[in-house]
Structures are given as C-alpha cells and as structure tokens.
Amino acid sequence: MSPGKDKQKKLTFILLKMDKVLIAFSGGVDSTFLVYLANQILPGKVLAVTAVSETYPVKELKEAKVLAKKIGIRHLVIKTRELKNKKFKANTTERCYYCKKELFSTLKKIAAKHKIEHVVDAANIDDLKDYRPGSRASRELGIRHPLQEAGLTKKDIRQMSRRASLPTWNKPALACLASRIPYGYEIKGKNLARIDQAEEFLRTLKLRQVRVRDYGRMARIEVEPAGLPEILKNRKKVIRYFKQLGYLYITLDLAGYRMGSLNEELKKVRGSRVHES
C-alpha cells in the first residue's frame, strides 16, 4: 500500500470512530477535502460550518457555498465578531489565539445544539512548521485535527483532492486577512477591506498566489517568483489602483510569497520555540 493510501485509510478510521462531526469549513484545499471525505464516510452525520467576518475575503463565502452544494453536505454560515475583541484588534503575537478561541467557542455551542460530540478543523502536518498560537485555543477547547492525526501534508491533500476530482485541488493557499497586518499595527475593518480589494485586483493580472502586507501607509506585495515580471509589466496600473485604496508607498518583495512571512522576525528571536504554541 502506498504512503498516501495508508494515510487516507488512517483518516477514514479516525472519522469512523468519531461517528458525527462538525467541520470548520473555509472552502480551502484542506477543509474541502476533509468535508468531502467525511461526507463519504459518514453520510448524513456531517455538518460543515463557515464563519463570516471582516477577516475573511468576500469571495470565499460564495465559493464555500458552491462547494458545499456540490459535495451535498449540510452547510451552515455563521457570523463571528473578532473585531469586537480589543485583544484581537491590538494585534499582538497572540492575535490568532483570540481569533480561534472566538471561532471554536462558537462552533462548540453549535455542535452541542446539534448533539454532535466532535468539532474538527482541517489543519495539516505542514501547519506545524509555522507559528500558530491558534493551536492553543484548539487544545483548550478540545478541537480535533484529523488531517494532522493521519499525518497528511498539504501535498498529500492536493493529490487526494485531484484524484477525487475536487476543484480545489490546485487552489492557492488561504489565510485570514488579519495575517497580512504586521504585529503591533491595530487591526481595523477598513484595512481588512482594502487588503481584500488589493489582492483581488492583483489576481486580475493572472497571478496565482498573492499577499498584500499592510503597514498602514505602505503595502508590501508578495507574489510567487514567476509572477514578478507580470507585476513589473503592470507597474503603473498597480500603483494607480493601490494609491486609490489609500497606500502612499507600494513595494514589491523580491523574495516572493512565502507562508507566514510576518513571522520571520519572531523566528529569529524565538528560534525553535516558535513552534511550541
């Protein structure tokens, strides 16, 4: 048996033991695969819940609804209120903890209402490589991570999603919009909205993976290295649009897109301890 099939067999066993599950469903690669497989294994016993707030790109809700309908899963959309939390808005290095605690606490209440014992999310093994204080919230609230428990990497999930003909198999990685704002800069709804608009604009240039890091008056654009020439070719158009959004300085990161780039400074300071949260 191939390693991939062995992992999927283990994931199947984990889900079967849970019997009924509520899944935090963003519509991204990982959660879509988890929802799809859980629905195959536990038909009628899976509830997918998508959270909506200022921290999520607008188009993701539309895509999540389409995917849930395509998979044939029970789907619930809820509103979370991270921006009501002063500790979240302050944007310390624990920001993700407060966000996830808000989300998972809400999901636990919904699960209890529907008599579902297990609340799960779609974190994978690769997520353990980055600074994730939100994982502490999941431990405190007893959230399960079946993809991690089965040892699945992002590459595994993409391959399995492709074999299952899921349209998300090659979808770019997602992250909440607050992750674009450096620690110490206050998180405001208007900043999140312009980040969303800026990234959507860059995608019209046929760029696959984009991030706009928001430093108040300055934007730092990250794209995959192959996309750098496209940005430069459309330099004037990019500058004009970003100026309209309120950015005074528009910069292009020559290192390109990489997951958790705003955590790089933390890693230098904390070393290996960055993975403990």
Which whole-number Å values give the CA distances from 217 to 60, 191, 241, in the listed order? 26, 10, 14
CA 256, 185, 141 angle in degrees (round to 5)? 90
Paired tokens of 153: 């990497």
| pLDDT score, position 119 | 98
pTM of the model: 0.89
Strand partners, 74: 47
Provide the edge-to-edge strand list for the sheet that holds 74-79: 74-79, 46-52, 21-24, 118-120
Domains of the chain (ranges, CATH numbers): 3-163 (3.40.50.620), 177-258 (3.30.70.2210)
pLDDT at residue number 4: 75
Residue 90 near residue 186 (C-beta atoms within 8 A): yes
* Secondary structure (H, E, C), 203-220: HCCCCCCEEEEECCCEEE
Q: What pLDDT score was predicted for residue 225?
A: 94
pLDDT of residue 277: 27
User: Per residue of the chain (277 residues), what is the pLDDT tens digit?
Assistant: 566 789 999 999 999 999 999 999 999 999 999 999 999 999 999 999 999 999 999 899 999 999 999 999 999 999 999 999 999 999 999 999 999 999 999 999 999 999 999 999 999 999 888 777 888 999 999 999 999 999 999 999 999 999 999 999 999 988 899 999 999 999 999 999 999 999 999 999 999 899 999 999 999 999 999 999 999 999 999 999 999 999 999 999 999 998 777 777 665 544 444 433 2
The residue to which tokens 């944007």 are assigned: 91
Q: Which residues pair with 219 in a beta bridge?
A: 214, 250
Strand-pair partners of 21: 46, 118
